[in-house]
């Protein structure tokens, strides 16, 4: 009987942990998406700047 109680207790503990991880993941997802967009925008801006400087140097 005690094995059943241990199994159900560990299952409940796992389910609680899983719920907490899911909640935290849901909370951090918008932050990560925003950071990814910001990084992508900065990469695009840097590429444009590099191309402008490269074309300016070629014209000389």
Model confidence, pTM: 0.51
Q: What mean pLDDT do residues 30-39 have?
A: 92
* pLDDT attached to residue 41: 95
Number of domains into which the chain is organized: 1
Structural domain including 3 reads: 1-59
* pLDDT attached to residue 55: 86
- Distance between CA 12 and CA 23 in Å, rounded? 16
Burial class (CB in 10 A: 0-12, 13-18, 19+), 17: exposed
Q: What mean pLDDT do residues 6-31 have?
A: 86
């Amino acid at each position: 009987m005690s094995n059943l109680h241990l199994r159900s207790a560990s299952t409940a503990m796992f389910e609680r942990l899983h719920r907490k991880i899911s909640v935290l993941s849901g909370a951090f997802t918008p932050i990560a998406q925003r950071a990814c967009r910001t990084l992508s925008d900065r990469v695009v801006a840097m590429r444009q700047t590099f191309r402008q400087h490269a074309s300016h140097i070629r014209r000389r």
